[in-house]
Amino acid sequence: MRGKWLPKGCFFTQRGVRREVRKEIMTENEISRSVVDAEFRADVIIDNKALWNLSLWRF
């Protein structure tokens, strides 16, 4: 998934709190910072509700 855009409607969840990611295209560095902010424990909820563990992402 390296270099791909986050889909619109994507959420980061942390400690049961869901917050919406910015709608505009995120650069890889911005995505990396978001992952750091989530302390590497977040899941990304895609529009189709599939859960992608961020540990599977390659930065």
Mean pLDDT (whole number) for 42-51: 46
| b/e code 12-38 from CB counts within 10 Å (16+ = b) | beeeeeeeebeeeebeeeebeebbeeb
pLDDT band at 32 (very low <50, low <70, confident <90, very high): low
Asked if residue 18 lies in contact with residue 10, where contact means CB atoms within 8 angstroms, the answer is no
Q: In whole angstroms, what separates CA 29 from the centre of its chain?
A: 12
| pLDDT tens-place string over residues 4-19 | 555 555 555 444 334 4
pLDDT at 30: 65
pLDDT at 38: 56
Average pLDDT over the chain, rounded to an integer: 51
Residue 9, both tokens: 């409607």
Q: What residues does each domain of the chain span?
A: 11-56
pLDDT at 26: 56
User: What is the C-alpha separation between 27 and 42, in angstroms, rounded?
Assistant: 18
